[in-house]
Amino acid sequence: MHHFNYISGILHAENVDINTIIKAVGTPVYIYSSATIERHFKIFANAVGVPKNRVFYATKANANLGVLTTLARLGAGADVVSEGEIRKAQAAGIDPNNMVFSGVGKTARELAYAVSVGIYQINVESEGELELLSEIAASSGKRQDIVLRVNPDVGAGGHAKITTGSSANKFGVSFSEAERLYAKASNLAGVRCIGLAVHIGSQITELDALESAFVKMRSVVESLRSQGLHVERLDLGGGLGIPYEQQAPFAHGPDLIEAYAAMVMRVTDGLDVELGFEPGRLIVGNAGILVTEALYLNKRGNKNFLVVDAAMNDLVRPAMYEAYHEIWPVIEPVNATCHAYDVVGPVCESGDTFTSDRNLPEIAKGDLIALMSAGAYGATMSSTYNQRPLIAEVMVKGDQFVITRPRQTYEELIGTDVAPIWV
Ligand SMILES: *Cc1c(COP(=O)(O)O)cnc(C)c1O
């Protein structure tokens, strides 16, 4: 469910005509709907029992300040994976005391920063990190709350590159090591080990794998307690998927959230822990679109290559994960003839293809089209590859819109490089 619809034959973001935004900002541009973000966050938070439990929005899905401030105002916490994300979330008004810090490669500097700002929880992913963090915190006279991220050896997700919970993945401490490390952590001076975390993958639309991972986590909690160790938090990660295809056979959206919450409550029933959740894609995925202009239509044999002004550096998901994005023309097609198109960007890579042989209503040079469901892992994964400036991001609320990130200028693009002195 999202707030991008045709009104009088023109695609709107909430009540704003997409053409109005394009006239002001140009293409390509990401456009976000605040009503969609609010709706998803509220449904999720309500389903999982906030405020008894906590929701930490996974900042890496979309770190635009417009998105973060919208969520901050709703009381969302943040799941962060770098010092940059901590600082960005702080800039959006999220209190570090409402942040959890995940990631396999936290540096000493990042850990020190997190401890110094009083982060709510650090999700420790290895023995080396545990030792380093304890030293850092103890040396500044602090005792940092941590949970141990466990790899349950249950992988899941929409693509191999977004599976994180299998033992072949780099994330978390192995299931067999968890209890030894937990006991060790409980004896370190600089940390207070108070729980466990798990996150097995992304774009998960079937709950079986999540359930088996959570059942395993419950057994670890019970086993730790039977050894007299203290466990008060269980962070269940993110990973819930969204419908990238409206006509997809599986029914999810609110239904998936309700089923997920019911499963979680069943599996953790009577466990007496504070539950944490780290949804990213679920909150912002359908809340953003990427609008691009058709530059050329090149017919090659029986192929129609539609060259657009957005590229894989702006939205890498199709190239990286073979991801599917619906394509909606900004002007609503009425009884249009359909053709098979390869929609491609200008970047010098064959992988710079948004879709191949997609049946779409006829598109002409100069037409605007929207790549739908581009709100998660779109702008945050963008780069300046081919020296293409980062594109603008716009936030819509009702009948208003604001540019929440201006298009990068060529001066900004070139300005930070320095020629070596000997030249
Ligand atoms: C990426 C990530 C998330 C968010 O994943 P989604 O699939 O976007 O919900 C949550 N927790 C951790 C530790 C992550 O790395």
Give the model confidence (pLDDT) of 340-384 as tens digits.
Answer: 999 999 999 989 999 999 999 999 999 999 999 999 999 999 999
Using the predicted structure, report yes or no on whether residue 250 has a pLDDT greater than 80.
no
CA of 150 to the centre of ligand 1 (A): 14
CA of 132 to the centre of ligand 1 (A): 24
CB 252 within 8 A of CB 140: no
The token duo for 118 is 């009083």
Question: Which of the two residues, 164 and 391, has the higher pLDDT score?
Answer: 391
* CB 79 near ligand 1, within 6 Å: yes
CATH number of 34-284: 3.20.20.10
Contacts of 165 (CB under 8 A, 6+ apart): 151, 152, 153, 154, 155, 156, 171, 172, 198, 199, 200, 201, 209, 213
Q: What is the pLDDT of residues 88-117, one digit of tens each?
A: 999 999 999 999 999 999 999 999 999 999
Q: Three-state SS across 115-133? A: HHCCCCEEEECCHHHHHHH
Residue 247 pLDDT = 56
Size of the chain in residues: 423
Instruction: List, by residue number, the catalytic residues.
Output: 348
* CB 282 near ligand 1, within 6 Å: yes
CA of 11 to the centre of ligand 1 (A): 30
Using the predicted structure, report yes or no on whether residue 46 has a pLDDT greater than 80.
yes
Using the predicted structure, report yes or no on whether residue 251 has a pLDDT greater than 80.
no
Kindly indicate the confidence band of residue 245, based on its pLDDT and cuts at 50, 70 and 90: confident
Which of 55, 59, 60, 173 for mutating ligand 1's site (highest number of atoms within 8 Å of CB)?
60
Task: Please check whether the domain covering 4-31+286-415 is classified as CATH 2.40.37.10.
Answer: yes
Calculate the average pLDDT of the chain: 95
Q: What is the pLDDT of residues 191-231, one digit of tens each?
A: 999 999 999 999 999 999 999 999 999 999 999 999 999 99
Using the predicted structure, report yes or no on whether residue 155 has a pLDDT greater than 90.
no
Nearest to 191 by CA among 142, 240, 225, 242: 142
Q: What are the backbone angles phi and psi of residue 16, rounded to the nearest 5°?
A: -105, 125
Question: Which amino acid, one-letter code, is at 72?
Answer: A
Which part of the chain is CATH 2.40.37.10?
4-31+286-415
- Please tell me whether the overall predicted TM-score, pTM, comes out greater than 0.85 for this model: yes
Residue 172 pLDDT = 87
Q: What is the pLDDT of residues 253-304, one digit of tens each?
A: 678 999 999 999 999 999 999 999 999 999 999 999 999 999 999 999 989 9
Kindly indicate the confidence band of residue 416, based on its pLDDT and cuts at 50, 70 and 90: confident
Q: State how far the alpha carbon of 261 is from the alpha carbons of 118, 208, 278, 299, in Å.
A: 29, 13, 13, 49
CB 253 within 8 A of CB 243: yes
